[in-house]
Amino acid sequence: SGAAVIGVDASPEMLRVARAKAADASVVVRVGLADAHALPFATGSVDAVVSLRVLMHAIDWRTCVAELCRVARWRVVVDFPSSSSAAALESGARRIAKSLGRNVEAYRVIAERDVLAALQAHGFHPVIVRRLGRPAPDLPRQPRDHILAQPHRLAHLADRSAGAQVNDRRRQPGS
């Protein structure tokens, strides 16, 4: 009856925010302090892993992807600021501001092909790739591309489940 949700973060402040949001929504979520580079879960012990706004800040995003794949049994969902989106401009501007001594949090952009290669190197292949090249009206923040992947051993299920698809929300010129 339902799912057991576990949230981890390396930031105690973000854990406080998560607890407050879960309480406000009357949702039971277990949260704990953990580093995405070394998740405290056994191999294959989690049905689905969702990693939002992590890879862009991680010291070694490839290690984080490896850990997500290690602990996931069925699905991995990641988001990342794509190097082919407007996020690349924002990232560059933040690096310049930081080099000028401004108090901004810099982040990296990542090529989609590199994220796909990292997932595939750890036994997962993409089922859904959602590209959000520019902000959509319903998104309050800079959009990130999303990839949902499943283990190679489940490739035969792709056509029967979510289906292999690409959802590209970038606007075409003139639209």
Report pLDDT digits (tens) over 77-119. 998 887 766 666 777 787 888 888 888 776 788 888 999 999 9
Q: The tokens of 13 are what?
A: 């402040």
For residue 132, what pLDDT band results from cuts at 50, 70 and 90? low
> Is pLDDT larger for residue 134 or for residue 48?
48
Q: The tokens of 130 are what?
A: 């959602």
Q: What are φ and ψ of residue 171, in 5° steps? A: -75, 140
Q: What are φ and ψ of residue 106, in 5° steps? A: -75, 155
For residue 30, what pLDDT band results from cuts at 50, 70 and 90? very high
Query: How far, CA to CA in Å, does 55 sit from each of 44, 85, 90, 109, 154?
Result: 21, 16, 16, 9, 25
Residue 35 makes CB contacts below 8 A (sequence gap 6+) with: 10
Q: At what angle do helices 61-71 and 112-121 cross, to 10 degrees?
A: 40
Q: The tokens of 98 are what?
A: 């930081």
If you ran DSSP here, which 8-state letter would residue 164 be given? S
Select from 120, 127, 122 the least CA-distant residue to 66.
122
Mean pLDDT over the full length of the chain: 79
Which of 69-73, 124-128, 162-166: highest mean pLDDT?
69-73
Average pLDDT over residues 4-16: 94
Per-residue model confidence (pLDDT) at position 48: 94
